[in-house]
Amino acid sequence: MMQQGLGQVIPTDPLPSVLPQVTEPLKRTTEQLQQRALQQQLSEKLAEKANLADPLTILPQTLEVLSNTGQLRWREVEVEQGFRAIEREWLLLVSVGEWQQLVSDWPVLPSMVQSEDKLASLGLSLIKIKVPVELDSASALQTKLTAQLAIFAGRNHLYQPQVSMMSELGASTINTAPMCQWPVTLGMIDTAIALDHPALQQQTGHLTILQRNFLPEDVAQSLAHGTAIAGVLAGQHQVAPLLPQLNLFSASAFYPSNLYQQSATLSHIILALDWLAGQEVKIINMSLTGPDNPVLAAIVQQLALKQIILVAAAGNGGPAASPLFPAAYNDVLAVTAVDEQLQLYRWANQGDYIDFAAHGVKVAALRADGEVALQSGTSIATPVVTAAAACLRAQQPELTLAELRLALIAQARDLGKQGKDQQFGYGLITSPLKFELE
């Protein structure tokens, strides 16, 4: 009887058919909420990943650079605006009279001097000092230096190449014709060149390379980037080298900060520039970038007075990045990179300082190990404009920087907005030169 009574209270028939009409919408709503939560998590992870530095190029805030025997040579540190420099090292570019006045105003200064190099070609001295921690800023130094001389003091900043390498080969940008057939002399500041590369075999009347190392003998040299740039200029792996008759002065100033990143100190770059000026080189390729620095600015100005023309990479910082140097100085020709479809390299800097564009995306460039790989960046585009400038200078050696800029503008193919713009500058430079100067 009890069971029978319970049977009357608890129905044994299935629940009414209206139940699915309630549970199905709830199920769909739950699935939608779960999907949105997953999408939100994915978006957060992607955003977090996008803000991470490239693990191949990221460097610690402090990095010790060791000799081949394990001795500390110098210490890299992160400084203002995320740039890098040698710890507490500052450079002064001064004449004899300026140095004497500076010592008179700051008698403790000689005790801080680490080195003094006479820049014979420029008639100046490059003095490197190491300051105590409490003076390690521009504002602190300016309280000790006279206002006139403070503008000549700058950190011993580090500068880096502007190229990325791809592991596989595919469709690539190659030269189909030389820039010119004239004998050309130019210089470059870069890593060392792998002189034993089969595509860079020297031959009188075709290619000669005079290379000088500006690093201490016990510090390892890099080879990768300089070999690639030399290959763009004169490598025999291309349909035709840009400069089939090239006399190249190569100044090696870069060392490996890690397996993927090379660095050059400003002091080594300046010594290299002085050497190139002494070789009477009038066109210099600088496929490197870094911060504005009063000492670098002063050197560029001195070279411009001698009508020595610098061609530099605009930088791979991206369209929103600040200007990079030396390219952003008025007396330097700044080069950006485009691909085969004449689209701007996606990581190229943009700005009013851009002068010219050249092919610099998926370029078949030399590797130090004897192979060829696709490389991209404003570094790879820069030697194309350097070659054009050198050819024009070879035909008319007395061309000034202003006249050479006009000659290159006449050679350029306008891209983007009509006239000079912040992406492509005056336009694209390609080989061969369209016409010879009168």
Active site residue 225: yes
End-to-end CA distance of the chain: 122
Between CA 189 and CA 213 the distance in angstroms is 10
**How many angstroms from the chain centroid is the CA of residue 391?**
24
Of 136, 197, 222, 225, which residue is the catalytic one? 225
Between CA 8 and CA 11 the distance in angstroms is 7
The helix-helix angle for 224-234 and 378-395 (nearest 10°) equals 40
Of 121, 164, 172, 190, which residue is the catalytic one? 190
Active site residue 379: yes
Between CA 90 and CA 138 the distance in angstroms is 10
Block residue for tokens 């713009």: 421
Domains and CATH numbers, the chain: 62-158 (no CATH), 161-411 (3.40.50.200)
Each residue's pLDDT tens digit in the chain (438 positions)?
Answer: 444 443 334 444 554 555 556 566 666 666 666 666 665 555 454 444 433 444 445 788 899 999 999 999 999 999 999 999 999 999 999 999 989 988 888 888 899 999 999 999 999 999 999 999 988 988 888 777 766 666 778 999 999 998 876 544 555 666 678 999 999 999 999 999 999 999 999 988 899 999 999 999 999 999 999 999 999 999 987 767 999 999 999 999 999 988 788 999 999 999 999 999 999 999 999 999 999 999 999 999 999 999 999 999 999 999 999 999 999 999 999 999 999 999 999 999 999 999 999 999 999 999 999 989 999 999 999 999 999 999 999 999 999 999 999 999 999 999 999 999 999 999 999 999 986 544
**How many angstroms from the chain centroid is the CA of residue 374?**
17
The H or E element containing residue 88 is: strand 84-94
What residues contact 314, with CB distance under 8 A and at least 6 apart? Answer: 162, 289, 324, 327, 334, 335, 336, 348, 349, 351, 353, 354, 378
Q: Give which of 405, 347, 351, 404 is closest to 378, Cα–Cα.
A: 347
Bridge partner residues of 310 (DSSP): 284, 332
